[in-house]
Structures are given as C-alpha cells and as structure tokens.
Structure 1
Amino acid sequence: MQRPALTLLAASLMLAHGLACAADAPTTIPAAAVQTAEQLRDKALHDDTAYKTVESLTTEIGARMAGGANDPRARAWAIAKFKALGFDKVYTEPVTYPLWVRRSEHGAIVAPFPQPLTLIALGYSPGTPKGGLTADIVQFPSLEALKAADPATVKGKIVYIGYRMHRTKDGHDYGIGAGIREDGPQVAMTKGAVGFLLRSAGTDANSRTPHTGVTEFSDPAKAIPAAALSNPDADQLERVLAYGKPVTFKLDLDCGIEGQYTGYNVIGDIVGSKHPDQVVVIGGHLDSWDPGTGAIDDGAGVAIALGAAKVIHDLPQHPDRTVRVIAFANEEMGLWGGRAYADKHAAEVSKFQLGSESDLGAAPVYQMSASVKPQARGAIEQIAKVLAPIGVVYDPKRPGGGGSDLSQMHQKGMAALSLDQDATYYFDWHHTANDTLDKIDPAQLAQNVAVYAVFTYMAAQADGDFGSAPKAFAGDGAGE
C-alpha cells in the first residue's frame, strides 16, 4: 500500500517541478510570427482604415461629451463600426458617473481697465450665482505658492495661477499644468477663495482658444467656480495685474453636476484560435471634450486600435490569443471607463497577456517601454526590433503604464507597454475648439497603426506570457 503513495508523491513533485520550470522559461516569439509581424507592419503603413474611422467619427458624431447629447450616438456608431470591421464579438459594459453639464461661461475684468476675457469652465466646476460672481484677483506663480499662502490673503478672492507650459517632445510640462488645473481649485477653496482661474494647460501662445479639462473637489457641495483663460487672455490679465492696482474680475459660469449618468464601454473581440480566454488588449477613449470634435483626443486612439485590429483580422488565420479593442467611456472626467473595466475584470488579470492604450494624439510613436516579468524582456526586444525600422526606440529602463484607461488594469497587475507619441504640438490643440480632423496626418496615423498591429500580434503569438498576475507590478511607478 505504500508504493502507490510514493508514486503519487513523485508524480506530484515532477508536476510541480515542471510548472516551476515553465514559469521560469523565457517568453519568446516564434520566427514565423516575427515574419508575419513584419508583413503586418508594412501593410499597416499603407492602410487607411484608421483615417477613415476617425474621419467618420468626427464628421458623423463630432464632439462626444460624456453624458451629453452625442454620447448615445457615439456609442451606437462604435458598435456599428466594430461590427462592420468584422469583430467576432461586440458588446458593452455599463459605466456610471456624475453628469456634468456646461451651458455658458463668461469672464471680464471690471476694474481698473474693464474688458472681457476669453475663458472656459473646467469639468466638475459648479456654476456661479445667477448674475455672476465679482471679486478681486489674487495671483500666485505656482500651485506650491498657493499651498504656502496665508489664508487671509486668499479669503473672499478669485485665485489666479499663471503657469505657462512649454513644448516638449514628451509633453512633460502637462504634468504641471494639469496638476494646477486639477488641484488648484480645491486648494483655493480650502483657503477661502470664492473662485479660481488658471492660464490654460496648453502650449499655443497666440490662439484665443482656452483649454478645458477636469478639476477635482473632495466635497462638491463646497466647490468653487473654476475656469481656464486662453494664453493671450492670461497674458492680458497679467499685464493688468502688473500695474499694481487692485484687479476686480467678474466670473459668470452656468454649469454643474446634475445627478448621475450611465454610459458604456464598447468592446470588440477577435477571438483567439488557440487560447480564446487569453487577451491582448488595446484601445482608446470614445468620449471627448465639447469645444472641438475630439479628433486627436481621442478619436485617433480609437481609430488606431481599430485599424490595428483590422489588419490582424484580415490575416488568413486568427492569432492564437484574443485581440480585444475597448472604446472607453468618460476618460476625460476621471478615467471612469477604465476604472469600471478594471474593477469588473480584476480577478481575470492573469488572462491579460499585454495591453496598451493610445491617448496622445496621432503623431508618430517614437519610444517604447514595458512593465513585464524579467523572463519576457527578450520577447519585448523582439517586438522592438520589428518596430525599429519605423522609428521606435526601446527604453528597457523605464516601466510601461498601459496608457490612460488601461493604467487601471496595469495597477491590478496587467503587463503593459507605454508607446510614447511625439507630443510637441499636441498640447496646442488638446481640450480646445481646435481639436479637429485637420490636425491628423494620415501617414503619421498609419505609423501608429503599424506599431499597435505589430505588438498586438506578436504578443498574441508569444510562447509564454508577459507576467500578468494580481499586483504583479505594484510599485513600478507607471500607470499611477
């Protein structure tokens, strides 16, 4: 009776050893898959699916404010487009969030030199009292200076911060500008301010088109009206402030939160031929701000993902793993679609092979980084080698965050890439009325499609995984 027990024990030990060896084995991409990826790359560079897609979205739907009149129309458009492009499964998942509504906004210097200024309300800003709000301006050079200010110097006034963004390829100044936009009103509120203004978080120096964007309040009931001035109007306000006289400003915003709204993430799957329950996920966000038509933010991202999926779909055989494209709901006012998706699918994170979202316009991808297990670095280098001929440099020292909405799945433990686009001019048009189709160069858009098609296909065909597991990349500093 002892012998079978020993045999069972030995078998168990052998199985455990085999699984351990498999877990430690390097992830590689077969030579045939590399060759197909090179062909996909070259085909995608001449494919116009993405451009036709973003042209359709911006022409037929236009602006897609989350919860606005075009929200359900955009969703219906996306469902129809996924189906027309041949996805095997097309479905939606609900996303509920506060419904913020913009009706009108006006601003003017009342004294010492009366004149109107061009501005736009920030998302989640409350409206002013009927007839507007009039108060003196107090100026700060930075968010840090506001945080350090004596509340007595702020109470009862409208705070203004005039940080000016500069153009950079990686767009890093946006971290400062967006930080002021998101956190400034809350800080001003806690010090007793009655309103908040900032120089737009944008790099266009000569256009009187202010940049909107979301702000945050820990207690919406105590929120103060908040708006962004265009860059030339911020210059004008600063010239008036430089006279050293008290500057009185009238702010008149008709906007605010009006209950809750349920939108939907739109999802399409090209089902894997060997491992249908394992997915490579790409996407963009379907919503946009309301002044423009949401071409670069983020119609381009949705189009890039759909274009990449389409060239993969057209191969003679589906890839081994499922290719999933997600058009996320309401990224602009707080990653609502990404958070809802991550919360719903957190328990399945180990089935997510690799992911990345496009949400920085349509200029070329120039750099790639990754958060993967050490044994998968060789596979990332294989992907990088196929992308090198189209201008993508691999930085092995930086983590990959997965992009805006997919950063939430990365935080749950999904292996992720960052595919950095050239952001030199992106923030000229970002969140403005100038976010329109003419800002997209078809050839540059196609380069993005090629990048996404290559990495998606190669990840789907890899022998082995990239390390997705619950909390696998906690603390890597990406996607936060």
Structure 2
Amino acid sequence: MVELPDEVVGDAQTSHFAWNRLEELVDVGNRMAGQAGEAQGAEVIRDAFADAGLDGVRIDEFEIPGWWRGSSSLTVGAPVERVHEGSHQVIALPGSPSGETTGRVVDVGAGTYEEFEAKADKLEGAIAMASSETPEHADRWLHRMEKYVNAADHGAAAFVFRNHIEGALPPTGEVGYHNRPGPIPAVGVSKEVGARLERYAEEGECEATVVTECRNEETTSRNVEAVVGPSDADDEVLVTAHVDAHDIADGANDNGAGSVLTAEVGRLLTSVADDLDSRVRLVTFGSEEIGLWGAYHCAETTDLDQVKCVINLDGACSSRNLRVGTNEFDALGELFESVAADFDAPLSTGDTISPHGDQWAFVQEGVPSTMTATTSNQSGRGWGHTHADTLDKLDSRDLRDVATLVTEAVYRAAQDSFSVEHRSRAETRDAIDEGYIQELKMGGRWPYDDLEE
C-alpha cells in the first residue's frame, strides 16, 4: 500500500520542477570538479533547494586537487602515419600529467590482471592500450584506474583507454584519484581509433606518440545541503547525488538527473514534513568523478551515528526501471522492494559491497547506504563519460517516475517503523569481495590500514 498521500504522488507525476532544473544544469556546460562550472551548478541546486521550500540551504566549500584539460594527440608513426588530435578521437584522462611519450603500442585487451601478466615482457617503455570493456567471465566490473595502475606498474610509459562501444566517442574518467597527478600520461580514444591501433599492433610493430597537455593544482569544490522534517529529530536520512560532471559533456544522466531528483524529493516531502519522524538531509556533492571528495568531506564532518541511512542517486534517468545496490544492507533492499511492489514498478537489486559511487564514503564506515540508479539496454556506461551524455538521451516521464518511487522510499525510511542496523568498520572490511579489495589496494584507496596495524 502506497504511504504517500495521493496529492503528493499526483504532484510527482505532473511536476516539471525537476526537469526544468535539469535543463538549467546541463546548460551550464562544463561542471568539472573545482572549476567555475561546478560552482555554477552548485548555485543551480542551491536555488532549487530554496525554491522547493527546504530549510537550512547552504553551500559548504572544501579544497581538492584540481585538473584542467589542454590539448591532446595520438600520432601513429608506423606502420603508417596517422594523426589523431580531435576531441572526437582522443582526450586526456583527468589526473593525467602532462607529457610526451613515444613507444610501441601493446594491446592488453580488456586490461585484466591476467592479460597484463601475459604481456609483461613487452610493456616496459611501451604504450599500453586497454579496452573499457569488462569480460563476461569476470566476477566484477574492472575499473579504468586498475588498468591504468597496472600499466604503470608494468613499466608502461603511457596509457590508452579505448572505448568498447561503437560510435560512442572517447571515454573519459579519473585515473589519479587521491594520488594526483598519476605517474604516466593517459588518454581515452574512441572504439574506432582503438580498433585501428589494435589492427596495427597485431600486424607487427605499431609505434605511436602520445601527447597530453594539462594542469594539476589545488582548487575549491563545494557541497550543497538542505533539510526537511523535524529539526529536533535524533536521526536523519541522507538523500544524496553528485553535481559535478566531466568537462567534455553536459553530464545529463551522470549526474545532473540525480542532483535535480534530490531537490525534487525534498520538494515533495515538504508537503508531508510533519509526518516525518527522522529529519531528511538533501546533499549534492562536488568532486565525485575525481575520487568522491565531496562525499568524504560530508562523511568526515557528520556525526555518522545519527545517520539512519543514505540513499544515493547516480545515473538515475536512463529509464524508469530502478536498480538498487544495497551493499548487503538487507533492510534497504526490502524497503525498495516493498515500494516497487506497491507501485507495480520494475526493480533490480544487487547486494555487492561496491566502492564505486558517493555512498562508499559512508558504507566504508558501516553506515547503511544504497546506490540507486536505473537500468537500460545500453552497454556498459552507454553515453556516460563521453561528449554524448546530453539531455536528449533522457525522458522527463522517467524522471517523474523515479522521483515518485524514491520519494516514497525516503518517506518510509524516515518513519520510526523502519530500522536498519549499522555495521562496524571491521565487519564491513571483512565483507568486501576479494576483487574489490584488490582494486582498492591497487588504487591506494584501502581505508582499513588502521585496523591492520
């Protein structure tokens, strides 16, 4: 049985509030972490929070390692000469240092640990090229950062990350994380450029030169916060998303949609604020794409004992079909399953404890948290992390449906009748899959060294 009043559900299904704000947000353009567009995007969300009638609206600034893109190129010298320098063909990956490297191209396929080992004797001084694909036989998604670090650790002088989706342009994505800048230049190339390099490498020696021009220096990022519900509540439910996006795209689905959904959930809850037992805090984070900096800042400046749960929205408008990662907090899975059943809405869930997404900053500390997204027929990220993550890929009806379901879930989570147990940090550490332990340690992101001393 749906618990929100009919008038709130009707409002959610007919409102243009979130979509209009999404148009504003994507029209900002570049919302790269720590740059002017991210600050402008934060102001769009601040104004949305204020217009939604939320309390305590504020912007919270913090320092991050910034990165600015210059020009990049990949020039093939042999077996034929070919210059790739347009941004539809090659782009630097955030966290890359500036540099110029010439070497033979060594294709390591999907960039699995086994493939790197198989080519270990060829990688010293080479340009390592790995696909963005994760093989079907893999037991988890392989992050680009792992492939980048593996390339550097095997002595490669540069890294090429090739898209595995045709026509989807070069992929971007952070490689430095909390160790900026990374050790070797890194670029993304389209599937088509990658296929050409793969063919050349298979036929014999393929020599290329990778050039990256970029700037790494300290800058300021920001979170935006607001609240709805009882100010004197003993606990709070966090509804979160990230407002930053990669500089090459509008970041419509990743994650403009999540940011405006956060504001819309808050707006809808203002009608039932007196019915909430827990306070609901709405937060849009800065700097997710470069290492979850905003989420970590929030987690470090919040009394986590008072956080009942976190519902994080990321990539939640590719369809109206929710997918919820529960991080082994069964009660949260059951919460969303009950909502989906009452609305006769499709839902898929996963319980793997995943270090990808802003919820990880809270999960690692044992705070019950979800990654809430949507599923579609797209392969991999689809248009995400490319120039093509634009508004025309999305549908306002999907945004309204997702807003309805998430608001119902948050409303239920903010009742005393809903409970979910925190875990200790040690319990969380012990529950993480071996593959993700490997990834976190590979990228210098393992948070439990203090438990192992």
Same fold (TM over 0.5): yes
- 2:376 is the counterpart of 1:415: no
Once the 2 structures are TM-superposed, how far is the Cα of residue 238 of structure 1 from its aligned partner? 1.5
Question: Given that residues 124 and 154 in structure 2 are in contact (C-alpha distance below 8 angstroms), is that contact kept between their aligned partners in structure 1?
Answer: yes
Once the 2 structures are TM-superposed, how far is the Cα of residue 300 of structure 1 from its aligned partner? 0.5
- 2:33 is the counterpart of 1:52: no
- 2:98 is the counterpart of 1:138: no
Question: Given that residues 21 and 260 in structure 2 are in contact (C-alpha distance below 8 angstroms), is that contact kept between their aligned partners in structure 1?
Answer: yes
CA distance in 2, matches of 1:308, 1:221: 37
CA distance in 1, matches of 2:201, 2:383: 27
Question: Given that residues 364 and 421 in structure 1 are in contact (C-alpha distance below 8 angstroms), is that contact kept between their aligned partners in structure 2?
Answer: yes
Question: Given that residues 279 and 324 in structure 1 are in contact (C-alpha distance below 8 angstroms), is that contact kept between their aligned partners in structure 2?
Answer: yes
- 1:293 aligned partner: 250
Once the 2 structures are TM-superposed, how far is the Cα of residue 451 of structure 1 from its aligned partner? 1.6
Which entry has the higher C-alpha Rg, 1 or 2? 1
| SS in structure 2 at match of 1:94 | strand
Question: Given that residues 296 and 430 in structure 1 are in contact (C-alpha distance below 8 angstroms), is that contact kept between their aligned partners in structure 2?
Answer: yes
Question: Given that residues 105 and 253 in structure 1 are in contact (C-alpha distance below 8 angstroms), is that contact kept between their aligned partners in structure 2?
Answer: yes
Once the 2 structures are TM-superposed, how far is the Cα of residue 140 of structure 1 from its aligned partner? 1.7
**CA distance change for structure 1 residues 137 and 399 in 2, over 3 Å: closer, same or farther?**
closer
- Which segment drifts farther, 382-391 or 182-191? 382-391
| Residue 439 of structure 1, aligned match among 373, 384, 393 | 393
- Which segment drifts farther, 133-142 or 210-219? 210-219
Question: Given that residues 241 and 284 in structure 2 are in contact (C-alpha distance below 8 angstroms), is that contact kept between their aligned partners in structure 1?
Answer: yes
| SS in structure 2 at match of 1:314 | helix
| Residue 306 of structure 2, aligned match among 333, 351, 355 | 351
- 2:47 aligned partner: 80
- 2:225 aligned partner: 267
- 2:289 is the counterpart of 1:332: yes
CA distance in 2, matches of 1:280, 1:304: 15
- 2:178 is the counterpart of 1:215: no
Once the 2 structures are TM-superposed, how far is the Cα of residue 469 of structure 1 from its aligned partner? 6.2
- 1:199 aligned partner: 162
Question: Given that residues 230 and 279 in structure 2 are in contact (C-alpha distance below 8 angstroms), is that contact kept between their aligned partners in structure 1?
Answer: yes
- 1:449 aligned partner: 403
1:240-259 matches, within 5 Å, as 240-244=200-204, 246-258=205-217
- 2:97 aligned partner: 126
The one-letter code sitting in structure 2 at the alignment partner of 1:436 is T
CA distance in 2, matches of 1:158, 1:401: 30
Runs of 4+ in 1 over 6 A off after TM superposition: 400-403
**CA distance change for structure 1 residues 390 and 49 in 2, over 3 Å: closer, same or farther?**
farther
Kindly indicate whether structure 1 or structure 2 has the higher relative contact order, using CA contacts under 8 Å at least 6 residues apart: 1
The one-letter code sitting in structure 1 at the alignment partner of 2:149 is Q
Residues paired across the two proteins, number? 425
| SS in structure 1 at match of 2:361 | helix
- 1:366 aligned partner: 322
**CA distance change for structure 1 residues 151 and 237 in 2, over 3 Å: closer, same or farther?**
closer
**CA distance change for structure 1 residues 418 and 133 in 2, over 3 Å: closer, same or farther?**
closer
CA distance in 1, matches of 2:24, 2:157: 43
Question: Given that residues 96 and 181 in structure 2 are in contact (C-alpha distance below 8 angstroms), is that contact kept between their aligned partners in structure 1?
Answer: no
Question: Given that residues 79 and 207 in structure 2 are in contact (C-alpha distance below 8 angstroms), is that contact kept between their aligned partners in structure 1?
Answer: yes
Deviation per CA, 1:211-255: give whole Å up to 9, x if none: 1001138865771101111111111111222322x1111211111
**CA distance change for structure 1 residues 192 and 308 in 2, over 3 Å: closer, same or farther?**
same
Once the 2 structures are TM-superposed, how far is the Cα of residue 332 of structure 1 from its aligned partner? 0.2
- Which segment drifts farther, 280-289 or 355-364? 355-364
Deviation per CA, 1:409-429: give whole Å up to 9, x if none: 122222223434104327221
The one-letter code sitting in structure 2 at the alignment partner of 1:182 is M
| SS in structure 1 at match of 2:411 | helix
CA distance in 1, matches of 2:216, 2:223: 21
Question: Given that residues 299 and 362 in structure 2 are in contact (C-alpha distance below 8 angstroms), is that contact kept between their aligned partners in structure 1?
Answer: yes
Q: Runs of 5+ in structure 2 lacking a partner?
A: 441-453
CA distance in 2, matches of 1:238, 1:443: 41
**Equivalent pairs: percent with the same residue?**
23
CA distance in 2, matches of 1:270, 1:81: 14
Deviation per CA, 1:108-149: give whole Å up to 9, x if none: 212111112311111110111xxx432221222233245415
Q: Runs of 5+ in structure 1 lacking a partner?
A: 1-30
CA distance in 1, matches of 2:411, 2:364: 23
**CA distance change for structure 1 residues 422 and 407 in 2, over 3 Å: closer, same or farther?**
same
| Residue 279 of structure 1, aligned match among 233, 236, 255 | 236
Question: Given that residues 253 and 384 in structure 2 are in contact (C-alpha distance below 8 angstroms), is that contact kept between their aligned partners in structure 1?
Answer: yes
CA distance in 2, matches of 1:187, 1:315: 51
Question: Given that residues 239 and 262 in structure 2 are in contact (C-alpha distance below 8 angstroms), is that contact kept between their aligned partners in structure 1?
Answer: yes
